[in-house]
């Protein structure tokens, strides 16, 4: 089986200050790339994920590696960690990207590179699919969604075209949406980042309530971290960074940012794993009183 390549792995392991006495909560288990390496140090891991496939993939992976003794698996949303975690722990990890599996093999329309139903729910307990948003939101709401969550320059034009096209035929698939975006974004833009990138980002964020989850979870993680323990967050875009920076401001002096700023992947890592290029690792430590 091909697994997700964990981002900033060495930097995560170094900054969790691991040893056999530590318990770490991996809030975004995914394929278990970080978790497996943490378990190999002898530390205990509580792994959380809200996606059934991630849970079953990692469960068998950890078992195959004979690492299940110190491993607890919880299906749930990290916004509920105050109910999911019984005691204070030594560290939290939140790796906020998408797993390669969700982008390539999950078949729910998370990537514009595959023609699939525009669902986008990674948390399948949620009721609203991306295609439902494209059906029910009015032009102004769609424009705001693409502007706020995708920082998309052509939000207005894209929203207008969606409203026009959906009168003729439902926008059902990623292919339908990509066609609309390509028809309104000026052609010279097409050679920069893919013009669908920002719109897809916006829809994924809203469908899975990503920013609300993060805003809710960070203060809970702060409360559940033992003095001297650490909270590590890997962000992938500026909206996540904004939430992490405001957490950093609001919870001082109880926590502080370790190092001058965030940690970026090395050029070597980016060349080996281009998906890591926008990753930033923020390391917070809880002060000892």
Ligand X SMILES: C[S@@+](CC[C@H](N)C(=O)[O-])C[C@H]1O[C@@H](n2cnc3c(N)ncnc32)[C@H](O)[C@@H]1O
Could you list the residues that contact ligand X (CB under 6 A)?
4, 6, 28, 30-34, 48-51, 54, 77-79, 95, 97-99, 122, 213
Identify which of residues 6 and 150 has a Cβ nearer to ligand X in the complex: 6
Q: How far is the CB of 58 from ligand X (least distance, A)?
A: 7
Q: How far is 81 from 210, CA to CA, in rounded Å?
A: 15
CA distances from 15 to 9, 153, 215, 262 (A): 10, 37, 22, 12
- From the CB of residue 90, how many other CB atoms can be counted at a distance below 10 Å? 21
Q: How far is the CB of 28 from ligand X (least distance, A)?
A: 3
Q: How far is the CB of 218 from ligand X (least distance, A)?
A: 12
- From the CB of residue 172, how many other CB atoms can be counted at a distance below 10 Å? 16
Q: How far is the CB of 222 from ligand X (least distance, A)?
A: 17
Identify which of residues 77 and 155 has a Cβ nearer to ligand X in the complex: 77
Contact 189, 237 (CB under 8 A): no
Secondary element (H or E) of residue 45: strand 44-49
- Give Cβ neighbours of residue 154 (< 8 Å, ≥ 6 apart): 184, 185, 186, 189, 195
Q: How far is the CB of 213 from ligand X (least distance, A)?
A: 4
Q: How far is the CB of 79 from ligand X (least distance, A)?
A: 6
Identify which of residues 54 and 235 has a Cβ nearer to ligand X in the complex: 54
Identify which of residues 97 and 265 has a Cβ nearer to ligand X in the complex: 97
Secondary element (H or E) of residue 104: helix 100-104
Q: With CA atoms as reference, report the closest residue to 205 among 76, 110, 140.
A: 110
Identify which of residues 170 and 212 has a Cβ nearer to ligand X in the complex: 212
Identify which of residues 31 and 269 has a Cβ nearer to ligand X in the complex: 31
What order of strands is seen across the sheet that includes strand 280-286?
71-75, 44-49, 23-26, 89-95, 225-235, 280-286, 255-257
Identify which of residues 9 and 184 has a Cβ nearer to ligand X in the complex: 9
Q: How far is the CB of 30 from ligand X (least distance, A)?
A: 2
Q: How far is 204 from 102, CA to CA, in rounded Å?
A: 12
């Amino acid at each position: 089986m091909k697994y997700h390549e964990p981002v900033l792995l060495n930097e995560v392991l170094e900054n969790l200050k691991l040893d056999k006495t530590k318990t770490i909560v991996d809030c975004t288990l995914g394929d278990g790339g970080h978790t497996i390496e943490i378990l190999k140090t002898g530390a205990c891991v509580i792994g959380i994920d809200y996606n059934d496939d991630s849970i079953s993939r990692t469960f068998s992976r950890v078992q195959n590696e004979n690492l299940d003794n110190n491993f607890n698996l919880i299906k749930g949303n990290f916004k509920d960690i105050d109910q999911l975690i019984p005691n204070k722990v030594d560290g939290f990890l939140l790796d906020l990207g998408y797993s390669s599996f969700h982008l390539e093999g999950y078949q729910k329309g998370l990537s514009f590179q595959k023609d699939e139903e525009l669902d986008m729910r990674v948390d399948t307990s949620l009721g609203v699919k991306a295609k439902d948003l494209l059906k029910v939101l009015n032009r102004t709401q769609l424009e705001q969604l693409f502007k706020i969550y995708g920082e998309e320059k052509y939000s207005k034009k894209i929203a207008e075209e969606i409203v026009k096209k959906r009168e003729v035929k439902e926008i059902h698939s990623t292919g339908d949406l990509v066609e609309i975006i390509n028809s309104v974004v000026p052609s010279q833009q097409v050679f920069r980042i893919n013009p669908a990138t920002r719109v897809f980002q916006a829809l994924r964020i809203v469908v899975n309530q990503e920013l609300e989850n993060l805003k809710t979870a960070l203060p809970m993680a702060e409360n559940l971290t033992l003095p001297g323990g650490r909270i590590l967050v890997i962000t992938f875009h500026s909206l996540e960074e904004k939430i992490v920076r405001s957490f950093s401001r609001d919870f001082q002096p109880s926590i502080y940012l370790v190092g001058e700023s965030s940690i970026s992947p090395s050029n070597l890592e980016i060349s080996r794993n281009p998906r890591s290029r926008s990753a930033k690792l923020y390391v917070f430590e809880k002060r000892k009183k």
